[in-house]
Amino acid sequence: MGVLNDVYEMLNTCNKCGFCLTACKTYKTDLREPMSPRGRIQLIKKLVDGVIEPDRDYEDAINSCLLCGECAVACPSGVKGNELVLAARRDLKLRHGIKPFAKSFALKTLASPSRLEHGFNFFKGVGKGILKKVDGLDYFRGVDIRNMPVAEKPFLEQVPEQITVSNPQKKVAFFVGCFLNHSLDGTAHSVVKVLTKNNCDVILPKDQVCCGLPQYAYGDFERAKANARKTIESFLDCKPDAVLTACASCGSMLRDEYLKLFADEPGYLPRVKEFCAKVFEFSEFVEDQIKLDESKLKAHTSVKVTYHDPCHMARHLKITSQPRKVLRSIPRLQFVEMNEANRCCGASGLVQAFYHELSTDITRQKTQNIVDSGAEVVATSCPACMLRIQGGLNFAGKKQTVVHVADLLAKAYED
Amino acid sequence: MTDKEIIEQLKKIVGEKNVQADKIGLTSYGYDATLLSGVGLAAVFPLSTEHVVKLVKLANEAGFSLIPRGAGTNLSGGTIPDERSVTVNFNRMKKILDIDTDNFVAVVEPGLVNFDLQAELEKEGFYYPPDPASYKATTLGGNLGECSGGPRCFKYGVTRDYILGLEVVLPNGKVIQTGGRNFNSEPEYDLTRIIVGSEGTLALITKIFLRILPLPAAKKTMLAIYNRVEDASQTVSDIVAAGIVPTTLEMMDNLLINTAEDATGAGLPRDAGALLIIEIDGHPEDMDEQVETIAGICKKARVREFKIARTAAEVDQLWLARRVVIGSVARRRPSYSLQDITVPRSMFPNMVSGILQIAKERNLEVGILAHAGDGNMHPLVLFDQRIEEEVERVHLAEKDICTLALELGGTMSGEHGIGLLKKKYITLEFSPVAMDCFAKIKNSFDPRHLLNPGKIMNLQS
């Protein structure tokens, strides 16, 4: 109960004005009060007050939150609904572990590199084949199974540990992340290409593990900490000028959440701070740290592109202008804004698997906004959003494709 | 019928997915934006008029009551359930049925969110004037039940002035339509206007005919900053006396300027005693002259700074700061008591100084927010619900404020309704004869007291 007692003052600060209702995609889609930030906050408070039990319905309210952070922006009193939900998930983990089994298994698999690789290999080989043979299972829980890419070989096995350039200006350690390593390896190559074209030495620590966000988001701080510690040590050992990630979710974990995670270890905190200060997200690094020489970018076929702000980008890392600047700097790229560009795509880690109907409805709103914008290509900065949105577009029979900002920029360096 | 049987019947009417009767669900429909709470029998989500008719029939048969609810953002305890009541959530009935720009009419279902209607209307060059601060969350049905106002109501009036007609389900399960698309009200008793503001105690609304207006051709938003709250309230009387009708004349005092600034970072002056947000609309060529007159009046009342918002972004920032005020006070203290008194405009400065005096005497922190143009004020008395002695002082201050408003020829509720919260003060305002009239109206619609029982007044059953 300690976890929730620690946040009780914030729970008590919610005066139920309801300004968060419109900000919340799960509420606007489902329209039941327990699916709203106000509803979740009041339930957490009632749990602490001993009025309700942490039953299945309570867990559904807590676990269906997208953690998108929009409620915190909308709240006049500065209550951070997403942080309260995180505390509630931590409390649930401490009470009885992570339920159901499938979720706890998924989180353990993600945390271990070897189990993760086996998982992807199975999916690539047998699993996908089986799923494809089952009639009507092209789309499993809103994810486009048939077209979900799996790397032939993990990205980290395709590249050397260090890639050097002739005139190095910066030494960048690339935190690849699970999705770019196992699924969207092409995007990982795009990142390396942009870095080397801009005179950066790239280090690719082979022992890198999951950043710990999936475990952290469900309250398994122990496992998250173990992975965080491994990450911090292996990257600081390389003595890089910068630690770069092309995944908004990993970015928010590496830069911001690690500080919160280790707040209770003052002895280790300086090391964490040293690490966090070096973390940059791809577009941010390109715009703010290296001067992009636009004259080196080559023109290709004209294309109309819109940008989707991942939650972790817009509200956690607060990086919104840089990816747009990168896109606008690409020759013959016509940039258009979509409606609600910074609203959640519905992926949110395991929410899409465990609350797939809700998640699919939210994705549908995103794909509609994309179609309405008239764009042919959607660029974004998070592989989880990429897979989710592409699945949604395919599901709706739309032709638009989803790429990473790095993919478009890397292409501009090709002849 | 047992509770279990009732819940089974409810599921048959609206479908399993549209009933919540678990502990978590019931807890979630037990509160609104006040400190009150209760636990009902079930919460249901009708999707059609037919569903509502069946719900009313079941309520008659099984003897439970019905509590209509939109988004649950009301400030009067208007949707608090009791153990024999079923909460009827209208927020899944949210279709726009028609936007008729030729006739300036929109037809909507009651669960539509005010803001969602505004967004659609804007595409057609129209808007719906009543815009309560919570318009992004509140439903039009809820606005109608409470007869909500909003910052624009000084010039444009309140919800009542924009409701042309209704489709309602009466407590006997019969459906009637009152009014319609015509601007002239129907002959005989105006049922539409009796139902608007009746806080869900007379009928369940299933369709609303709204009056909409074309967006004004020009708008100017001004910010006047004062060292003393008294000077700001003097400006309000002077503007009205000069015959100017701004759309908006909003006042915030020092405390609220600070909490709103904490919430938005809009750049409000933290050391100011009070500020006024003044907005005018109309023909582009009239704007400059009106701004000049208003600036002159502000100067006469010792304004410290007078600014005109230059860009749409500046206007939005000012409005955002205004809209978050009630929510933002929790930054200061966790609980607030919000009054909704309205006094004749000329009495506005007296009411402001009276509130400051009451706060001082009761040793309480108070923030004053006012739709100053129409004399509607929301003094926010701040406290902590967990400190009993303080809560008692708050109750005394509430009564002082209501009594003073009535002494000045005002009313204790301008736009939030009576609900449960102000029920205990209603006899201060209305004579026994008037109360008897209310009871007779209620009984003629709802003789069995099935709809939102216990709200507004206590009735003999």
Task: Please judge whether B327 and A51 are an interchain contact, meaning their C-beta atoms are less than 8 angstroms apart.
Answer: no
Specify if A69 maps to a domain. yes
Specify if A149 maps to a domain. no
Residue B22, domain CATH:
3.30.43.10
Domain boundary among B179, B214, B249: B214
Domain boundary among A60, A81, A96: A96
Specify if A260 maps to a domain. no
Does residue A105 register a pLDDT over 90?
A: no
- Helix (H) or strand (E) holding B209, with range, is strand B204-211
Task: Please judge whether B28 and A15 are an interchain contact, meaning their C-beta atoms are less than 8 angstroms apart.
Answer: no
The SS3 assignment for B306 reads strand
Does residue A135 register a pLDDT over 60?
A: no
Q: How far does A76 lie from chain B, in Å, by closest CA?
A: 4
Residue B263, domain CATH:
3.30.70.3450
Shared-domain flag, residues B189 and B105: yes
Q: Which residues of A touch B259 (CB under 8 A)?
A: 76
Of B368, B458, B371, B372, the residue nearest B422 (C-alpha) = B458
> How far apart are alpha carbons B64 and B87 in whole angstroms?
11
> How far apart are alpha carbons B232 and B235 in whole angstroms?
5
Q: Which of B22, B23, B28, B113 best probes binding to A when mutated, by most A CB atoms within 10 angstroms? A: B28
Q: Which of B16, B19, B27, B29 best probes binding to A when mutated, by most A CB atoms within 10 angstroms? A: B27
Shared-domain flag, residues B196 and B224: no
Q: Which residues of A touch B95 (CB under 8 A)?
A: none
Identify the contact set of chain B against chain A, taking CB-CB distances under 8 A.
20, 22-25, 27-29, 31-34, 43, 45, 71-73, 89, 91-92, 113, 115, 134, 136-138, 259-260, 262-263, 324-331, 334-336
Shared-domain flag, residues B290 and B382: no
Task: Please judge whether B134 and A57 are an interchain contact, meaning their C-beta atoms are less than 8 angstroms apart.
Answer: no
Is omega for the bond preceding B171 within 30 degrees of 0, making it cis? Answer: no
Inter-CA distances, A349 with A249, A346, A368, B293, Å:
9, 9, 21, 58
The alpha carbon dihedral of B392, B394, B396, B399 has a sign of negative
Which pLDDT tens digit goes with each residue over A177-205? 999 999 999 999 999 999 999 999 999 99
Shared-domain flag, residues B327 and B338: no
Of B303, B297, B248, the residue nearest B275 (C-alpha) = B303
Residue A23, domain CATH:
1.10.1060.10
> How far apart are alpha carbons A245 and A154 in whole angstroms?
17
Domain boundary among B46, B63, B89: B89
Residue B171 CB neighbour total at 10 angstroms: 22
Task: Please judge whether A34 and B25 are an interchain contact, meaning their C-beta atoms are less than 8 angstroms apart.
Answer: yes
Residue A395, domain CATH:
3.40.50.10700
pLDDT at A221: 95
Q: How far does B361 lie from chain A, in Å, by closest CA?
A: 26
Which pLDDT tens digit goes with each residue over A340-360? 999 999 999 889 888 989 999
> How far apart are alpha carbons B5 and B11 in whole angstroms?
10
Residue whose token pair is 């005919």: B209
Residue B444 CB neighbour total at 10 angstroms: 9
Shared-domain flag, residues B141 and B231: no
The residue range of the domain holding B361 is: 333-415
Which pLDDT tens digit goes with each residue over B360-400? 999 999 999 999 888 899 999 999 989 999 999 999 999 99
Domain boundary among A63, A96, A129: A96
Least confident residue range of A76-85, A120-129, A249-258: A120-129
> Could you tell me the two tokens for B163?
């409701």
> For chain B, how many structural domains are there in total?
4
Of B330, B276, B327, the residue nearest B304 (C-alpha) = B276
Shared-domain flag, residues B122 and B180: yes
Task: Please judge whether B24 and A43 are an interchain contact, meaning their C-beta atoms are less than 8 angstroms apart.
Answer: yes
Contact call for residues B83 and B41 (beta carbons, < 8 A): yes
Of B198, B180, B211, B320, the residue nearest B261 (C-alpha) = B320
Specify if B321 maps to a domain. yes
Specify if B365 maps to a domain. yes
Specify if A338 maps to a domain. yes
Contact call for residues B347 and B410 (beta carbons, < 8 A): yes
Contact call for residues A181 and A197 (beta carbons, < 8 A): no
pLDDT more than 90, % of chain A: 81
pLDDT-based confidence at A138, cuts 50/70/90?
A: low
Shared-domain flag, residues B44 and B110: no
Q: Which residues of A touch B43 (CB under 8 A)?
A: 33
Task: Please judge whether B92 and A31 are an interchain contact, meaning their C-beta atoms are less than 8 angstroms apart.
Answer: yes
Specify if A232 maps to a domain. no
- Helix (H) or strand (E) holding B205, with range, is strand B204-211
Specify if A264 maps to a domain. no
Of B415, B293, B400, B418, the residue nearest B355 (C-alpha) = B400
> How far apart are alpha carbons B232 and B253 in whole angstroms?
9
Which residues lie below 8 Å from residue A56, measured CB to CB, with a gap of 6+? none
Q: What are phi and psi of B193, to 5 degrees?
A: -75, -20
Q: How far does B25 lie from chain A, in Å, by closest CA?
A: 7
Contact call for residues B86 and B43 (beta carbons, < 8 A): yes
Pairing state between β A143-144 and A139-140: antiparallel
Contact call for residues A84 and A11 (beta carbons, < 8 A): yes
Task: Read off the DSSP letter of residue B244.
Answer: -
Which pLDDT tens digit goes with each residue over A361-389? 999 999 999 999 999 999 999 999 999 99
> How far apart are alpha carbons B420 and B75 in whole angstroms?
10
Nearest to B327 among A19, A42, A61 (CB): A19
> For chain A, how many structural domains are there in total?
2
Shared-domain flag, residues B197 and B222: no
> How far apart are alpha carbons B445 and A145 in whole angstroms?
58
- Helix (H) or strand (E) holding B6, with range, is helix B3-14
Which residues lie below 8 Å from residue A24, measured CB to CB, with a gap of 6+? A35, A36, A37, A70, A71, A81
Task: Read off the DSSP letter of residue B326.
Answer: H
Nearest to B72 among A18, A34, A78 (CB): A18
Which pLDDT tens digit goes with each residue over A305-321? 999 999 999 999 999 99
Nearest to B91 among A31, A46, A79 (CB): A31
User: What is the number of CB-based contacts under 8 A between chain A and chain B?
Assistant: 103
pLDDT at B237: 86
> Could you tell me the two tokens for B368?
């004053």
Q: What residues form DSSP beta bridges with A307?
A: A379
pLDDT at B150: 86
> Could you tell me the two tokens for A415?
């002849």
Cα-trace Rg, chain B:
22
Nearest to A77 among B22, B33, B331 (CB): B331
Task: Please judge whether A33 and B263 are an interchain contact, meaning their C-beta atoms are less than 8 angstroms apart.
Answer: no
Task: Please judge whether B334 and A13 are an interchain contact, meaning their C-beta atoms are less than 8 angstroms apart.
Answer: yes
Among chain A residues, the shortest Cα distance to B31 is held by A16
Task: Read off the DSSP letter of residue B186.
Answer: P
Domain boundary among A96, A120, A154: A96
Residue whose token pair is 């867990």: A59
Mean pLDDT of A73-99: 94
Specify if A103 maps to a domain. no
Task: Please judge whether A18 and B138 are an interchain contact, meaning their C-beta atoms are less than 8 angstroms apart.
Answer: yes
Query: What DSSP string describes B147-159?
Result: T---TTHHHH--G
B68: left (phi over 0), alpha (psi -120 to 50) or beta: beta
Domain boundary among B214, B240, B270: B214
The residue range of the domain holding A380 is: 294-411
> Could you tell me the two tokens for A292?
């992009």
Cα-trace Rg, chain A:
21
Task: Please judge whether B32 and A75 are an interchain contact, meaning their C-beta atoms are less than 8 angstroms apart.
Answer: no
Query: One digit per residue, pLDDT tens: chain B, 461 residues?
Result: 999 999 999 999 999 999 999 999 999 999 999 989 999 999 999 999 999 999 999 999 999 999 999 999 999 999 999 999 999 999 999 999 999 999 999 999 999 999 999 999 999 999 999 999 899 999 999 999 999 988 888 899 999 999 999 999 999 999 999 999 887 766 778 999 999 999 999 999 999 999 999 999 999 999 999 999 989 989 998 998 888 899 999 999 999 999 999 999 889 999 999 999 999 999 999 999 999 999 999 999 999 999 999 998 999 999 999 989 988 998 899 989 888 999 988 888 899 999 999 999 999 999 999 998 888 999 999 999 899 999 999 999 999 999 999 999 999 888 888 999 889 889 888 999 999 999 999 999 999 999 999 999 988 76
Angle formed by the axes of helices A81-96 and A56-63, nearest 10°: 140
Inter-CA distances, B32 with A14, A45, A384, B381, B436, Å:
12, 15, 36, 18, 29
Shared-domain flag, residues B149 and B189: yes
Task: Please judge whether A19 and B324 are an interchain contact, meaning their C-beta atoms are less than 8 angstroms apart.
Answer: yes
Identify the contact set of chain A against chain B, taking CB-CB distances under 8 A.
9, 12-19, 21-22, 31-34, 39, 42-43, 46, 51-53, 55, 57-58, 61, 75-79
Specify if A309 maps to a domain. yes
Shared-domain flag, residues B325 and B344: no
pLDDT at B185: 62
Task: Please judge whether A19 and B91 are an interchain contact, meaning their C-beta atoms are less than 8 angstroms apart.
Answer: no
Side chain identity, residue B392: E
Shared-domain flag, residues B321 and B361: no
Q: Which residues of B touch A79 (CB under 8 A)?
A: 330
pLDDT-based confidence at A109, cuts 50/70/90?
A: confident
Specify if B382 maps to a domain. yes
Angle at B165 between CA B162 and CA B171, to 5 degrees: 125
> How far apart are alpha carbons B439 and B424 in whole angstroms?
16
Task: Please judge whether A42 and B28 are an interchain contact, meaning their C-beta atoms are less than 8 angstroms apart.
Answer: yes
Q: How far does A55 lie from chain B, in Å, by closest CA?
A: 9
Task: Please judge whether B330 and A15 are an interchain contact, meaning their C-beta atoms are less than 8 angstroms apart.
Answer: yes
Contact call for residues B130 and B143 (beta carbons, < 8 A): yes
- Helix (H) or strand (E) holding B25, with range, is helix B23-28
> Could you tell me the two tokens for A328?
């606008």
pLDDT at A136: 57
Specify if B447 maps to a domain. no
Q: What are phi and psi of B222, to 5 degrees?
A: -125, 155
Give the 3-state DSSP-derived string for chain A, with helices as H, strands as E and coil as C.
Answer: CHHHHHCHHHHHHCCCCCCHHHHCHHHHHHCCHHHCHHHHHHHHHHHHCCCCCCCHHHHHHHHCCCCCCHHHHHCCCCCCHHHHHHHHHHHHHHHHCCCCHHHHHHHHHHHCHHHHHHHHHHHHHHHHHHHHHCCCCCEECCEECCCCCCCCCCHHHHCCCEECCCCCCEEEEEECCHHHHHCCHHHHHHHHHHHHHCCEEEECCCCCCCCCHHHHHCCCHHHHHHHHHHHHHHHHHCCCCEEEECCHHHHHHHHHHHHHHCCCCCCCHHHHHHHHCCEEEHHHHHHHHCCCCHHHCCCCCCEEEEECCCHHHHHHHCCCHHHHHHHHHCCCEEECCCCCCCCCCCCCCCHHHHCHHHHHHHHHHHHHHHHHHCCCEEEECCHHHHHHHHHHHHHCCCCCEEEEHHHHHHHCCCC
Specify if B456 maps to a domain. no
Mean pLDDT of A123-152: 69
Q: What are phi and psi of A199, to 5 degrees?
A: 60, 45
- What ipTM is given for this predicted complex? 0.93
Does residue A1 register a pLDDT over 60?
A: no
What's the predicted TM-score (pTM) here?
Answer: 0.93
Contact call for residues A324 and A307 (beta carbons, < 8 A): yes
Which residues lie below 8 Å from residue A125, measured CB to CB, with a gap of 6+? none
> Could you tell me the two tokens for A289?
């740290």
Specify if B228 maps to a domain. yes
Shared-domain flag, residues B113 and B202: yes
Among chain B residues, the shortest Cα distance to A77 is held by B328
Among chain A residues, the shortest Cα distance to B19 is held by A32
> How far apart are alpha carbons B106 and A129 in whole angstroms?
53
> Could you tell me the two tokens for B67?
């509590």
Mean pLDDT of A320-338: 97
